[in-house]
Amino acid sequence: FQLYEHASTVPAKCYDRQKWQKGYQSLKQEFNYWIDDIEGEIPPNLQGTLFRNGPGLLDINGQKLHHPFDGDGMICAFTFTNGKAYFQNRFVRTKGFLEEQKAGKILYRGVFGTQKPGGWLANAFDLKVKNIANTNVIYWGKKLLALWEAAEPHLLNPNNLATLGMEYFDRVLKEGDAFAAHPRLDPNCEWDDGKPRLVNFSIKPGLSTTITIYELDESGKIVQRHAHSVPGFAFIHDFVITPNYCILFQNPVAFNPLPFVFGWQGAGQSIKFNPKEPTRIIIIPRHANTSISEVKILETQSGFVFHHANAFEQDNEIYIDSVCYESLPTVDPNSDYQETDFDALSPGQLWRFVVNLNEQTVRREMLESRCCEFPWVHPAKVGRLHRYLYLGAAHAASGNAPLQAILKIDQVSGERQLWSAAPEGFVSEPVFVPATDAVNEDDGWLMTLVYDSAHHRSDLVILDARNLHQKPVARLHLKHHVPYGLHGSFTPE
Ligand code: 3ON
Ligand code: FE
């Protein structure tokens, strides 16, 4: 067995669903060890920690969750010092995690369809939420925060990943308040002497939806907060910023609360995509005293966006690069996510939306038709014109399939580079880490956790971002697998 480094050597059908499935097994053990099984070499000047978050449990004491997005958050940390790497993984000790582990059974309904045992009667009118802290992890203002978009952040010890409690930012957040899992880091905020800022949002859905924007300074303090009401229900997972704006996509969905309230299905399953309605692009000024001070809403073709790559302002227009789906499939209460028929679903594809505020128009074009997800840009390019985009991608150029490759797009030359782990490997989000002596935008590394289905274990693969056609700089073999995760971040501290 050998992982295929190059796309051309892999046969057309490049994955086996049974092998893909095995990446969705719970990891019940918590580890900490120096990684000693390494191919290649860890760059000696690579210093810092890669944090990852994602569902660590896909079952509670044998009771299977209905969907991975309902799984309890487990943090992984890879700490690099002097060419060595230390691994740790630890579950976020949320209230629900502790209660369910003690009880040995499912006590909470999940947004994506996990139900308490006992049928709909046991679930009816139970609208409690378990804050599962499973979507992202970020180090900001000397705080390590585990994020889940429907509730408040959990505060962790960055050294040993122990859970310290909830984070309310000096009581600016109230108990049960949401704080999205997709903060954006403005590398130099024009309104704050060029200092970096963390910008995030929260969604309070209803017949109309309240969007709150938060800006945190370098010390982790919320220095700005403004709330806006937009008509209709909204499910907004991610957003983008520019120096002047926050941009959110209100995908065309409708929410019918009854099946959720009556215990038949989860809240997220009661959201229906409406292909006949347009997507609304919501543009919120970050600062009150700019020339455009009110919220603007523009319409574009129907589609569903979970993740944006980046946005920037140029010639009085706003450019937004996003992964867009033709439709959002509803999670069926009777189906098993491990039996997903990839061919029956529409792939995520990379689109560019160009918003002209003066003319009130939006145009869009597809930048990449290959199935892709989890876009990244250089951290210094957030909100600014970028050249390179990095994504998880399917091995095959067309159709929908699991992510097995890392794709680099050069938006100046149009060149694409693909590093593929097919047929046995399945990749996760590629995190770009700039090199310390960087000159060019792609001087740095891409880190991706790859599930190796042949050995049922995971590898951290470090690629030289300048050239994905080279063999990885290093491949760090863990002693175990890590279930497919969601997001993470790198901190040089
Ligand atoms: O919209 C309302 C407000 C809200 C915040 C209602 C609501 C109940 C739907 C809600 C809650 C939303 C939640 C809790 C969303 C959680 C999402 C999550 C954990 C993950 C999303 C992941 C998205 C993608 C695209 C993952 C892709 C993964 C792969 C391609 C491969 O593994
Ligand atoms: Fe996300």
| Residue 11 confidence (pLDDT) above 90 | no
pLDDT for 2: 41
Residue 306 alpha carbon to ligand 2 centre in Å: 6
* Range 27-34 average pLDDT: 98
Which pLDDT does position 329 carry in this prediction? 81
Average predicted confidence (pLDDT) for the chain: 95
What is the rounded (10 degree) CA torsion for 262, 267, 270, 271?
160
Among the bound ligands, the one closest to the CA of 136:
2
Of all residues in the chain, the percent with pLDDT exceeding 70 is: 97
Q: Of all atoms in ligand 1, which is nearest to the CA of residue 268?
A: 9
Domain extents in the chain? 7-491
What is the predicted pLDDT for the residue at 467? 98
For the segment 259-288, the average pLDDT, to the nearest whole number, is: 93
Nearest CA to ligand 1 atom 7: 268
- The closest residue, in CA terms, to atom 32 on ligand 1 is 484
Choice from 426, 429, 486 to test ligand 1 binding pocket (greatest atom count within 8 A of CB): 486
Out of 149, 256, 324, 451, mutate this one to test ligand 1's pocket (max ligand atoms within 8 Å of CB): namely 149
Query: Rounded to whole angstroms, how far apart are CA atoms 434 and 442?
Result: 8
Nearest ligand to residue 324 Cα: 1
Q: How confident is the model at residue 417 (pLDDT cuts 50, 70, 90)?
A: very high
Which segment of 56-65, 336-345, 404-413 scores lowest on mean pLDDT?
336-345
Out of 67, 237, 345, give the residue to mutate to test ligand 1, the one with the largest number of ligand atoms within 8 Å of its CB: 237
Structure confidence by residue, pLDDT tens digits, 380-395: 999 999 999 999 999 9
Name residues whose C-beta falls within 8 Å of residue 1's C-beta, 6 or more positions apart in sequence: 424, 454
Q: What is the rounded distance in angstroms from the CA atom of residue 453 to the CA atom of residue 448?
A: 15
Residues in CB range of 271: below 8 A, 6 or more apart = 235, 253, 254, 255, 328, 330
Residue among 148, 235, 270, 458 whose CB has most ligand 1 atoms within 8 A, to mutate: 235
Beta bridge partners, 167, equal none
Torsion sign, CA atoms 8, 10, 11, 15: negative
Stated length of the chain: 493
As given in the structure block, the two tokens for residue 399 are 């159709």
Assembly ipTM: 0.95
Confidence bin at 293 (pLDDT 50/70/90):
confident
In this predicted structure, the answer to whether residue 7 has a pLDDT above a threshold of 70 is no
Question: Is the model's pLDDT at 3 over the cut of 80?
Answer: no
pLDDT at 290 exceeding the cut of 70: no
Q: Determine the atom of ligand 1 nearest the C-alpha atom of 233.
A: 1
Residue 12's pLDDT is 58
- Nearest residue (by CA) to ligand 1, atom 23, is 306
Classified as helix, coil or strand, 389 is strand
Pocket residues for ligand 1 (CB within 6 Å)? 69, 111, 134-135, 149-150, 178, 203, 205, 235, 237, 267-268, 271, 306, 373, 403, 484, 486
The helix/strand/coil state of 348 is coil
CA 268 – ligand 2 centroid, Å: 15
Spatial distance between the Cα atoms of 214 and 198, rounded to a whole number of angstroms: 8
Whether residue 9 is predicted with pLDDT greater than 80 in this model: the reply is no
Nearest CA to ligand 1 atom 12: 150
Given pLDDT bands bounded at 50, 70 and 90, which one contains residue 4?
Answer: very low
Percent of the chain surpassing pLDDT 90: 92
